[in-house]
Amino acid sequence: MHSLVKKHYLVTGGAGFIGSQLIRELIKDEDIKVTCIDNFAPFYPRQFKLINIAGFETHHNFNLFDLDIDISTPKVLHDTLTQPVDAIIHVAAKAGVRPSISNPMGYQKTNIEGTQNLLDFAQQTGVKQFVFASSSSVYGANKNLPWNETENLLPISPYAMTKLSGEMAGHVYSHLYGIRFVALRLFTVYGPGQRPDLAIHQFVKSILKGEPIRLFGDGTTSRDYTYVDDIVSGMVSAIGYNQSPFEIFNLGNNHSVSLKDLISTIEEVVGKKATIDQQPEQPGDLPHTMANITKAKQLLAYQPHTELKDGIQRFYDWFLHNKEVLLHY
């Protein structure tokens, strides 16, 4: 039996990699209505995002608005959204550590001012739950692995700084206005729909095209790769979290994989050896990341299940299915 009043969730950046996978999960529930806003920024081709949301447009519980959070004042959002919002899941952002170094003001505008607009909208319209997609990059140069949520935060890129600013803005609004704010520090998310600027996508594409892959550093840097379905399960739990007014959670895999081992796994899945073009280490990149996920396990019942090879196989299957678009941009 369905409730008469559906829950209404606003997902920002909902045509992107993580946002679209979250929406795919949410609209399985007939009692949830999802409004997605996305500005289809030219960071990568619009066609990629249209692949992400293919089939959503005909779903009776889904609405899409082409909006830019930088300039979406509370009034613009209020005029666009005709139904009260129960929760905001804020995934939209200018993404990427390296491009943020050359465009710090652009990142501040989208990631700080955009988040401020959404917090003001939540405050003015009575939204009670705000879930924020933060990033493991806020830990920065901290060598105390695996990181737990109480570590010293030492961001070393403008992108990381803007994500930390978003968390702090959420703390302010939780304190002043009683909005429950849940920040999720995501660790190197991968899987079908992954952005083309990220390593796994780039490596698969280069190997298939017979082009060298660019390896920054000596291959010993490592990341806590987390499959997108596992991340989405944590995000869904965070939407329902109600035990405290402000909370920060790591969503990772609690397991770090070196760049060399990642490339070996991709070679195994693709069935072809990579040609390596070794490059110097990049400024702003972290040497290692690893999440302590004890808190998320305890309070969100979060439990990642996907092994790296299985996740890369699913990404590769998705890539092959969409290769006519993905290989030619």
Structural domain total, the chain: 1
Q: Kindly give the residue spans of alpha helices, DSSP state H, lying in 62-179.
A: 74-80, 97-102, 104-108, 114-125, 158-177
Instruction: Give me the residue label for tokens 């073009």.
Output: 277
User: Within a domain: residue 25?
Assistant: yes
pTM given for the model = 0.96
User: Within a domain: residue 117?
Assistant: yes
Query: What is the average per-residue pLDDT within 63-82?
Result: 95
d(CA 305, CA 302): 10
Confidence at residue 2, expressed as pLDDT on a 0 to 100 scale? 53
pLDDT for 226-265, tens place per residue? 999 999 999 999 999 999 999 999 999 999 999 999 999 9
Q: What contacts 24+ positions apart, CB below 8 Å, involve 74-78?
A: 74/117, 74/120, 74/121, 74/124, 74/125, 77/117, 77/118, 77/121, 78/121, 78/124, 78/125
Confidence at residue 163, expressed as pLDDT on a 0 to 100 scale? 98
pLDDT for 185-240, tens place per residue? 999 999 999 999 999 999 999 999 999 998 888 889 999 999 999 999 999 999 99
Task: Tell me, yes or no, if 159 is annotated catalytic.
Answer: yes
User: Within a domain: residue 195?
Assistant: yes
User: Within a domain: residue 315?
Assistant: yes
pLDDT for 266-317, tens place per residue? 999 999 999 999 988 877 778 899 999 999 999 999 999 999 999 999 999 9
> Pick the catalytic residue: 159, 227, 302, 316?
159
Residue 117 belongs to what domain range? 7-326
User: Within a domain: residue 1?
Assistant: no
Confidence at residue 1, expressed as pLDDT on a 0 to 100 scale? 47
User: Within a domain: residue 20?
Assistant: yes
User: Within a domain: residue 124?
Assistant: yes
User: Within a domain: residue 2?
Assistant: no
CATH number at 99 reads 3.40.50.720
